[in-house]
Amino acid sequence: MPKSKRNRPVTLSKTKKKPGSERKGKVLTEIKRAVDQYSSAYVFTYDNMRNQKLKDLREQLKSSSRIFLAGKKVMQIALGRSPADEAKTGIHKLSKFLQGDSGLLFTNLPRDDVERLFRDFEEHDFARTGSTATETVELKEGPLEQFTHEMEPFLRKQGLPVRLNRGVVELVADHVVCEEGKPLSPEAAQTLRLLGKQMATFRLYLVCRWSSDDFEAYKEGLAHLGAVDSS
């Protein structure tokens, strides 16, 4: 006998929001709050992001500024994409520059201070796999006295032609670790780290600036971001 459709149980509990939706909603709220709290806003881009270095910068600026690195669409929606839906007059102009590797800075600092901060900001670090080598690094045949004998098997795994000679790690032939302009292999990146050779520089570039009475774009940042229209 077929079951009656009228007797089917109905679930009355509310559907839980997905964690991702909650996070996006929180970011939207925080950006809208920042629009009201700070006097100016900037779009910036960057090279070789290092999360810990960015965290340090956030801590340095926390009394005067707020940095957001979130989904581009979320940031655009929070600012507004047109005069009709912008959070404040003119701020929608920032939205079209939120592309690629970019973020938002809200601040009460004077423009000159922000420009100087970004111009001088530079943090060196070890390059990661896939990064472009900034120079050619070649090791010459002979002893590698900076390495202990226990490291000889590991060095061989990184592709170095080494052997132990009376307890000393020795390179049996010249070896090119990396070539300028070419991507780093996992082995090259690891070897450069062992050599203490830093090839990555975390830099920040201002792309454009908004305030209640002004909007401007920065040529260097635009070129770095790849934007072609700064109107």
Note the pLDDT tens digit of each residue in 55-65. 999 999 999 99
Q: Where in the chain is the domain with CATH 3.30.70.1730?
A: 24-126+200-228
CB atoms within 10 A of CB 202: 19
Write the burial class of residue 101 (CB in 10 Å: 0-12 exposed, 13-18 middle, 19+ buried): middle
CA 67, 72, 73, 79 dihedral sign is positive
- The whole-number pLDDT of residue 225 equals 84
Summarize pLDDT for 120-142 with one digit per residue, the tens.
Answer: 998 999 999 999 999 999 999 99
Pick the CATH number of 24-126+200-228 from 3.40.50.11750, 3.40.190.80, 3.30.70.1730, 3.30.530.20: 3.30.70.1730
Nearest Cα neighbor of 131 from 44, 72, 202 is 202
- The whole-number pLDDT of residue 224 equals 86
Helices 19-37, 72-79: crossing angle, 10 deg rounding = 40
What is the rounded distance in angstroms from the CA atom of residue 99 to the CA atom of residue 76?
A: 10
At 46 the three-state DSSP class reads strand
What is the rounded distance in angstroms from the CA atom of residue 37 to the CA atom of residue 34?
A: 5
What is the rounded distance in angstroms from the CA atom of residue 208 to the CA atom of residue 89?
A: 16
Could you tell me the pTM of the whole model? 0.77
CATH of the domain spanning 131-195: 3.90.105.20
- The whole-number pLDDT of residue 16 equals 57
At 66 the three-state DSSP class reads strand
